[in-house]
Amino acid sequence: MKLLVLCALVAAAAAWPNFGMMADSPGGASDAQKQHDVNNILWKIYGEIRDPHLKELSQTFDPLSGHYDDGGVSARRLMKELNDERLLEQKHWFSLFNTRQRQEALMLYDVLEHSTDWDTFAGNAAFFRVRMNEGEFVYAIYAAVVHSHLTEHVVLPPLYEVTPHLFTNSGAIQAAYKAKMTQTAVTIKSQFTGSKSNPEQRVAYFGEDIGMNTHHVTWHLEFPFWWDDAHEDHHIDRKGESFFWVHHQLTVRFDAERLSNYLDPVDELHWDDVIYEGFAPHTMYKYGGSFPSRQDNVQFVDVAGVAQVRDMVLLENRIRDAIAHGYITGRDGTVISIMNSHGIDILGDVIESSTYSPNHEYYGSLHNTAHIMLGRQGDPHGKFDLPPGVLEHFETATRDPAFFRLHKYMDAIFREHKDSLTPYTKEDLEFTGVSVHSITFNNKLTTFFEDFKYSLINAVDDSPQAQDVPIYAVIPRLANNEFKIDYRIDNNNEREVMATMRVFMWPKYDNNKVEFSFNEGRWHAIEMDKFWVKLSPGENSLTRSSKDSAITVPDVPSFQTLINKTKEAMTSGSEDMAVAGLHESTSFNHYGCHDGKYPDKKPHGYPLDRRVDDERIITGVSNFKAMDIKVFHTE
Ligand SMILES: *[C@@H]1O[C@H](CO)[C@@H](O)[C@H](O)[C@H]1NC(C)=O
Ligand SMILES: [Cu+2]
């Protein structure tokens, strides 16, 4: 059982979100056709294309003859790389953190992104699928489908069924190969990595959660650090701030899971100290062997061709200096103040760093470089020619407990900045005339483990002649019962008002059973929900289900479900509707909107994002309410 503090704040809505969808499909092809092509371009990515039309396109399409809005510049550039035989071979690992490999993937992304009709998009996808490295190809397709206007209604198949190696352990993969070879249908029971002698194993269910890994990799696809406004048609709003917030939430949630498992919170990573936890990933690449391990208590060493440890300390000091000064120094020496709500956004761009960083030359890429540094500590001099570590892939990074150390470290830097801002005042927080009368839960909150099943069919090699046999993996995952919260809110204004509801939860006690102070607790707050309501004059009563929470999404439909639904849509008269319906439940845009604008003007985490010197200022406003709740875990 875990005791938590729940608090809710109602505030005047600064912006009313518009989640409208465009119904037309530019490019001529129907949504169902596009879905069909995307399914087939990602099906059995390590083998031949099975779809006859796409297979033919892969031989006959000429990228230079396509239609583009960049005059074909991207297509000519990639074709030159291809014809000069400079592209990474197939059947080789791929990591986004490898600069050259990333550039190659992005060259294809550019070609797809600048395609102005579906024939060009699909033709390029087919053509390059058989000529480029599979990992680069999958990344480019995912990024393009996420960002292209042509694919607005296309649902991406779950990555764990497209590249299962990055989501499951070697044991399950080997069992899958065996099932394929012996043509025996199988459901493989998969376990979390490590042994009971490793206390970290108690929370491996979190770092290895398939849904969480999908969330993490999807976030990084939607808010890519490489996104360059100069080449795109829009700016991604509050990308740096979102970087902070998403990782902050992972960090505090992980600590809450640790508390429930009698573990201390994660300590920050220190460049001048050892990395306490070793890690044996028990995970393998499709091509490139096993992911490298790291012993316990490894001293940080320089990584050849990446960075020296002292470079990292230097970058950290420059960033901490900027926070202490209250401003970032731009490339041309300009002073960019961060002493306001927008400061966190700039700081996020600086720390990650993304192309939005105002001075990459000076502040470097603390986060991205740290990922590579940590990922290489098993073979820092490249003596053993090991492939990149789990930390060099967003799909696998959270498997390593060091991921959370790294992010705890970043999080503390962000906190230093947030704590330098003036606390909110009563005037900032209150919503005149509005008060939260009561918050009631309609049932007991429980968590439990359930089995999650997914297909490994795309993990194994085969040929068009070999029959498919069903191969599934089953892994436990933490789930919760559905619950509903009734809110009673009074609006003493004479008119209807629009309100934003913000709901958070934090552990009541720390690992020493000491009650968290408000100021400490609020930094550990887990965002539970955020939604907009119209409050009529007088008493309002509203019920909100946990299923509707803005921070949760239903499972992505399985690859096979997508294929079946697409077939239905294409053969039945309903055409696009089946696919469009699917899309509504799989929109991952819970941190932003399709037009790149975030619907809420307040900072992420508001009103708990700033330091609270006197908690009565928050707890004293009538539009705020806090209560203790209990969460039970059942076996
Ligand atoms: C997909 O369709 C096939 C053939 O109709 C059926 O056997 C299978 O159960 C379906 N799978 C899913 C996941 O819907
Ligand atoms: Cu991340």
User: Out of 292-306, 336-350, 562-576, which region has the weakest mean confidence (pLDDT)?
Assistant: 562-576
Say if residue 18's pLDDT is above 50.
no
Q: Could you tell me the pLDDT band of residue 256, with boundaries at 50, 70 and 90?
A: very high
Structure token digits, residue 252 = 């505090």
For the Cβ of 60 lying below 6 angstroms from any atom of ligand 1, the answer is no
Ligand 1 and 567: CB distance under 6 A: no
Q: Pull the structure tokens for residue 211.
A: 């849904």
Confidence of residue 21 (pLDDT cuts 50, 70, 90): very low
Whether residue 22 is predicted with pLDDT greater than 50 in this model: the reply is no
Does ligand 1 have an atom closer than 6 angstroms to the CB of 558?
yes
What's the pLDDT at 378?
Answer: 86
Q: What is the 3-state secondary structure (H, E, C) of 193-262?
A: CCCCCCHHHHHHHHHCCHHHHHHHHHHHHHCCCCCCHHHCCCCCCCHHHHHHHHHHHHHHHHHHHHHHCC
- The single-letter DSSP state of residue 589 is G
pLDDT recorded at residue 550: 85
Q: In the prediction, which pLDDT does 591 show?
A: 47
The gap between the terminal CA atoms of the chain, to the nearest Å, is 12
Provide mean pLDDT across the span 211-227.
Answer: 94
Please state whether beta strands 624-633 and 327-329 pair in parallel, antiparallel, or not at all (unpaired). unpaired
Cβ contact 360:318 at 8 Å: no
Which atom belonging to ligand 1 lies closest to the Cα atom of 560? 13
- Shortest-distance Cα residue to atom 7 of ligand 1: 564
Q: Which residue has the higher pLDDT, 230 or 560?
A: 560
Residue 597, pLDDT score: 63
Closest by Cα among 202, 333, 177, 335 to 264: 202
Give the residue, by CA position, lying nearest to ligand 1 atom 2.
564
- Mean per-residue pLDDT, 317-330: 98
Give the per-residue pLDDT at 596.
56
Give percent above pLDDT 70 in the chain. 92
- In the structure, what pLDDT confidence band is assigned to residue 7 with cuts at 50, 70 and 90? low
pLDDT in tens, 83-120: 999 999 999 999 999 999 999 999 999 999 999 999 99
**What is the pLDDT, as a whole number, of residue 233?**
83
- How much of the chain is in helix, strand and coil states, percent to nearest 5? 40, 15, 45
Q: Is the CB of 564 under 6 A from ligand 1?
A: yes
**Apex 82 CA angle, 79 and 87, nearest 5:** 135
Residue 4 scores a pLDDT above 90: no
Higher pLDDT among residues 146 and 598, named by residue: 146
| Residues 441, 237: Cα–Cα separation, whole Å | 35
Q: Which ligand is nearest to the CA of 250?
A: 2
* Residue 311 Cα to ligand 2 middle (Å): 21
Q: What pLDDT digit, counting tens, does each position of 523-579 carry? A: 999 999 998 999 999 999 999 999 988 888 888 899 999 999 999 988 875 575 445
Protein residue whose Cα sits closest to atom 5 of ligand 1: 564
What per-residue confidence (pLDDT) applies to 574?
A: 57
Q: What is the CA radius of gyration of the chain?
A: 25
- Per-residue pLDDT band at 23 (split at 50, 70, 90): very low
How confident is the model over 452-489, as pLDDT tens digits?
999 999 999 988 888 899 999 999 999 999 999 999 99
Which of 468, 564, 565, when mutated, tests ligand 1's pocket best, judged by the most ligand atoms within 8 Å of its CB?
564
| Cβ of residue 568 lying under 6 Å from some atom of ligand 1 | no
Q: What is the pLDDT averaged over residues 189-213?
A: 92
pLDDT tens readout for residues 134-144:
999 999 999 99
Whether ligand 1 lies within 6 angstroms of the CB of 446 is answered as no
Average pLDDT over residues 602-616: 95
List, for residues 398-421, the tens digit of each pLDDT value. Answer: 999 999 999 999 999 999 999 999
561 C-alpha to center of ligand 1: Å? 7
- 63-88 mean pLDDT: 97
Task: Assess whether pLDDT exceeds 70 at residue 19.
Answer: no
595 vs 134, higher pLDDT: 134
Mean pLDDT of 29-42: 94
pLDDT at 232: 85
Structural domains in the chain plus CATH codes: 31-152 (1.20.1370.10), 219-420 (1.10.1280.10)
Average of per-residue pLDDT across 28-44 = 94
User: Is residue 426 within 8 Å of 9, Cβ to Cβ?
Assistant: no
Task: Kindly indicate the confidence band of residue 208, based on its pLDDT and cuts at 50, 70 and 90.
Answer: very high
Interacting residues of 70 by C-beta distance below 8 A, sequence separation 6+: 110, 114
Nearest CA to ligand 1 atom 4: 564
The answer, yes or no, to whether any atom of ligand 1 lies below 6 A from the CB of 546, is no
Question: pLDDT tens across 274-288, in order?
Answer: 999 899 999 999 999
Q: Is the CB of 420 under 6 A from ligand 1?
A: no
Residue nearest to atom 13 of ligand 1 (CA): 561
- Cα 594 to ligand 2 centre (Å): 21
| C-beta 561 within 6 A of ligand 1 | yes
pLDDT at 608: 97
Q: Is the pLDDT of residue 27 over 70?
A: no
Q: Does residue 211 contact residue 555 with C-beta atoms inside 8 Å?
A: yes
| Residue bearing tokens 């042509």 | 150
The pLDDT score that the predictor gives to residue 588 is 42
580-594 pLDDT, tens per residue?
Answer: 444 444 444 444 455
- Mean pLDDT over 123-132 rounds to 98
Closest Cα to atom 1 of ligand 1: 564
